[in-house]
Structure 1
Amino acid sequence: MTPSLPEPASRLVTRREAEPLLGYAPGSLKAVMQQQKNRWPAPVACRVKGRALLYELAALQDISQRGEVRSRRRAGSDPDGLVTCLTCGRRYRSLGPHLARTHQMTAAEYRAEHRLPATTALMADDVRASLSRTRTAAMADDPDLVGRMRTAALPQEELLRRSAKARAGTDNLPTIQAARAAGAHRTLPAAQQARQDALEAKAHASGFTSMQDAINRTRSMTNKAAAERIGVGITTVKRWRRKPTDD
């Protein structure tokens, strides 16, 4: 009986060596692993004492979720918090610098080449959130900042013209229209529910069990008086009073 040969040991690699094999940009895998420590395997050895940690490549490949180069997934970052470049397949936290440095193209040219909507995000979600927080904090520290920004901004007509020009190549794509239609269907019910929840909260705060209870108990009042009693607008009271009631 021929003895079975031992299975070859898994290849050991450093994070730097694993990056091109997993589709990560140089230096990005370390940041991802630090942000998601519970998701990634622990190192099994080190090439130099205390340095150059080694990982099993097979274990990294099992966990890594590399996106397809020509993926048409929704805008935003992947589970690793990175955005895939559809030109080369590398993943970055922000595509803008990579596009200019490596592919010599602007964000608008990149979107046009891959037929992406002009509103497609080219930054990871947390990067955009961080920038938003930074801008919000800056405006809070400097109340005059918004005024200076508005003064320096282009006229609204020019912004609208540029926006229309950027979207001209993608607005009529069936996939884009379908995505926008689906988004509208999802957004409308959510907005209606949020409105209903806000009215119910105001009714509860005014001592009623529900908005309908508030309307029923204030029918003897004028629209204005009822609105003040419930804490809503007069138009809201009129609309609710026109609703048919169950006998």
Structure 2
Amino acid sequence: MQLNTVGRSQRRLEGAGVDDVRRPAGAPGRGAFELGRLARDEESDLVLCHVCGRGFRALGSHVRVHGMTAAEYREEFRLMRTRALSARAVSRARSVAQRAVYERSARTRADFAAGQSMARSGALADRARRSLTEHGASTELATERAVRLEAGRRTQGAAAAARLAERVRTLGFDGIPAALRGLYVEDGKSLEATARALGVGNEQLRRLLDRHLVEVRPVGHNSPTGRSARVALNDLAAARRVGTDDIGRWLTDHRNGGATVAELARLTGRSVPWVVSRIRRRPPGGAGEGHVAAPDGHSADHGPSVDGEGGTRRPRNGSDVP
């Protein structure tokens, strides 16, 4: 009985819409409305018929005059299948009436329980995806998705800008241009180090540099700070790979324990010369100052030589590195 009452109420609302027919001042004529969008007159809160251009509080009954059902009207004019063809005031009135019935009627709540269970389990979402695959997205749905996506991007962009401004203030700079000049130009930090300091990605940093007219250093131009940063990063990566906080001590201990330099290079993922340089940097406690067993068994002070620019590194006695 309650549901029938709601149905009669809705039919009366739609009937009122048919009786309240008029063409809003300045409304487009027949066929002049955009496909994929429910046409409304914002001043009068009437929905406008795509076919004849007249305004109604609800189109559900009116479209029968044009030989269409409400579902056929939505499909013809590329509206979402769930789009209400009514004025906002009518939609609000329906919502209030339906909510009242739901709260009063245990039977209505029981009828809704199955759908609510499907919603919680994800079955309704699966059904919606299948329907979208079978029938395709309406123009209105595609447009709304694009609008929501763009709005989300703007929101994310605003949040990222706020985070960047806060990071700049935390670093003690007056603004982004000052931070870019201070970190990248004056301190000589690399692009990667500057990006980490500002909490942005490398591509975003490049865009910021371009926007604020800060010239990017040419490829191959290494500042002392940049070189130092890369050395530190390489050391950190090797230390994490073998699970230690002190890569120099770890290499020295394992070398003195009998590991070959080649083995240590393989374990750390670095080159043999890199291993040798780190071992020489941290001599064992019992050895003389700067004296560590080198790959060939001689003093590490003699170090490896390089056969030409970028050539193969060999110990100075000419023997192969183990």
Kindly name which structure, 1 or 2, has the bigger radius of gyration based on alpha carbons: 2
Q: Give the TM-score of the pair, scaled to structure 1.
A: 0.42
Q: Which has the higher contact order (CA 8 A, sep 6+)?
A: 1
Structure with higher helix content: 2
